[in-house]
Amino acid sequence: MTSVQHMKWWGWGLDGVSFHHEDKPALRPFVLEAVGLDLDVPAEPMISFDDLAVPDSRIGDELLGALTAAVGEAHTTTDGMERVVHTYGKSLRDLLRVRAGDLPRVPDVVVYPADEGEVRQVVDLAVEADAVIIPFGGGSNISGSLEPPADEARPVISLDLGRLDRLLEVDEGSGLARIQAGTLGPDVERQLGDRGWTLGHFPDSFTHSTIGGWAATRSSGMQSDKYGDIADIVRGVRVVRPGKMLVVRPVPSASTGPSVREMVLGSEGRLGVITEVTVQVHRIPEHRVVLGYLFPSWKSGLSAMREISISEATPSITRVSDAHETGFSFATRKKTEGFSISGTASKGLMAVLEKRGWDLDQACLSFVGFEGSKGHVSDQKAIVRKIIRSHGGIVLGKGPGELYDQKKFDTPYIRDYLLDRGAAADVSETAAPWSRLQQVYDDVTAAANSAYDELGVKGWIMCHLSHSYHSGACLYFTFAFPHGGDVALKQYQTVKNAIQQSFIDAGGTLSHHHAVGTEHSAWLEQDISPAGVELVSGLLGAADPRANFNPGKILP
């Protein structure tokens, strides 16, 4: 059988890797205060996979035989576990459903092509048979971009790109790298790093997501301030379409009508199967540091981030958490780790800050990253330090930044840990102009709290700013509440709807980097206008008239 490794069918990450709170003494009281959940209460036992009623495969013998001939018997499977793993992504909605055995439609077969030639064979066989093709990368999507429509009567093929996992070429003169679409984030950086290069793209899902998935969903990374979003990074792309290849050459810029490259980016598999991307890469910087800062308020943190974005500074990371997220960050640290607002080592600093008039309950933690030569980094740090001090902030130093760097990919494990114990937690993110950010923040926070009141639950919402641009920034919200078991999905939808509608009403977008999928499609028309939806519908309808490629995604 194929050697491609997948995440747990019921949660994030690989089997054997999980979160625990016992070495984090502040977390239990924090969660108890935030959502009324006692982490010392044992987790609910996980349902056994053997107890799931996995629907039988509907694949016909003729199509199955043809697919097996195309990619090999070892790389074609109708195994129940494989098909369930390829049914959903990793959103809260996905996990609630799969853990409840809610599997109205699963892929009928999973195929693992070895190269672009085999992808072409699979696509042509599927289209000829009027089957559905759903491209699959790492399975980390949280927008409903992977699941088959519940009423889909045709055979459904999950086309797993996990064997297309190589760096093919680096054009050192141009800093362009050709990379196969199924390459996971760590493998991208390892293969590039062996040659002295970096892509610089580090989304939260980095460990378990692929470069093709990043392109298909218009991903952003933690260092996008310096390296750009994936739409800035991808210069060329190869896409398998029925009977032909779509090839966008990696030129620096072009005036060739509406951008086909832009059509592919964010298309979520609806225009074909991305097999290869050519991306801009950079030499590994000589020096890299992430520093921690502390602001007296969220408002001062936002103002400082805006000023940094239009200054001569060019940091790789600009991030500031609101007071709620700051409290959560401190609560998840081990007793011996770094700076803590209430830690013994910081009592002197606390006294100084209180003397300055700080309300420590409103303090906001920030991280700013710097890369380049030592001289460049030193100059950038000086510019940022001056701006932060002008907004009342202070420098905490390298300790908090180093901890942030170590733990930046761990948050999904905390989400699963809470879900095991009866709390629903998930994320929603948006982007808006600087002039609208505070209003977006205020309105979303109020909407979530109103939703909690409507449900009669004790909920929590927190936020950080990331991905700064000249004109605005991304706001990334995390929300949590104790769920009601059988009604958890309905409760989640109430909160999610309130947050998403607030994004639109306050002047933000439905998603900055998580994609549309099915989770956000209800707000697409409000976001891009009815005429915009008409254009997208026309494109997808013309390119895929029988809806063979990942139907039901993006359009409401």
Active site members: 476
At residue 169, φ and ψ (nearest 5 deg) are -165, 145
Cβ neighbours for 543, distance < 8 A, ≥ 6 positions apart: 241, 270, 271, 272
Rounded alpha-carbon distances, angstroms, from residue 180 to 8, 172, 250: 24, 18, 15
Q: State the distance between the two ends of the chain, measured CA to CA, in whole angstroms.
A: 38
d(CA 271, CA 246): 10
Strands (E), 323-422: 364-372, 394-397
**H/E element holding 160?**
strand 156-160
CB atoms < 10 A from the CB of 130, how many? 11
The answer to whether the beta carbons of residues 159 and 120 sit under 8 Å apart is no
The answer to whether the beta carbons of residues 500 and 523 sit under 8 Å apart is yes
> Which position has the token pair 């170590």?
406
**H/E element holding 459?**
none
Cβ neighbours for 71, distance < 8 A, ≥ 6 positions apart: 111, 112, 113, 114, 118, 121, 122
Cβ neighbours for 435, distance < 8 A, ≥ 6 positions apart: none
d(CA 144, CA 519): 6
- Give the rounded distance of the alpha carbon of 535 from its chain centre: 26
For 56, the 3-state DSSP assignment is coil
The answer to whether the beta carbons of residues 501 and 341 sit under 8 Å apart is no
Beta bridge partners of 295: 364
Nearest to residue 155, comparing CAs of 106, 115, 207? 106
DSSP 71-135: H-GGGEE--HHHHHHTT--SSHHHHHHHHTT--S---SEEE--SSHHHHHHHHHHHHHTT-EEEE
Tokens read off for 12: 């994030």
